[in-house]
Structure 1
Amino acid sequence: MTNEELLQIIEQAARDKVTELNLSGKGLTTLPPEIVQLTNLQTLDLSYNQLSSLPPEIVQLTNLQTLDLRRNQLSSLPPEIVQLTNLQTLDLSYNQLSSLPPEIVLKSLKTTINGKLKSV
């Protein structure tokens, strides 16, 4: 998926005030800052991509309850991710994580950290 196509999807989803967005398996390597336009988003599926990092702006998705990041290439998470206070499910399975923000374990996630972590 090209960056232009992704921006079009984000703009349309923002206009439609979607609460769920599935971008699984789209070959994404980055997320554009425009993702913050999705203020109603509750579920975001970014699994099976090639994301190596998340933009700090993701914390502006304050209604986010489920974030699926499994099977990417994440080596770390932005410390700001702990600001997603409504987040209940976070799937980080099969990434390259070597550490996590310490505050993340204090959150009441239904599904905490799954999968292959090098060390936590």
Structure 2
Amino acid sequence: MSAVASGTFAVTFRPPGDLPAVVPGIQELAFDKLWTGDLSGHSQGHMLAYAQTAYVALEVFTGTLAGRTGQFAFAHLGDQAQGQQRLLYRIVEGSGQGDLSGICGELSLSITDQEHRYAVHYTL
């Protein structure tokens, strides 16, 4: 079954603590998200960012998708070149648990006025 899920989420960043800098210019952040829409639940993750021009992150979502409850992980890779932002935001294959076991797919994202709008293209 292929489908598209869409909605919004709110994100709150928090410093992970007093960790020493691994590499100059790289910042480590932990984050929490509250998902609404077709994905309903919360996620937590960790991000490494370089000079606001590139980042990698992993996060774990726990909640409901299309009436199915469980969890899965997202992997992010984002960068910015010449004012253009590029983002790869994938569901980690094999990470699905509960009713979301076997899920795979990608998320597309748009940000307008600080609102994060998503569409998850997935197979379950």
Which TM bucket (shorter chain)?
under 0.3
Q: Which has the higher contact order (CA 8 A, sep 6+)?
A: 2
Q: Which has the higher strand share?
A: 2
Rg larger in structure:
2
TM-score, with structure 2 as normaliser = 0.26
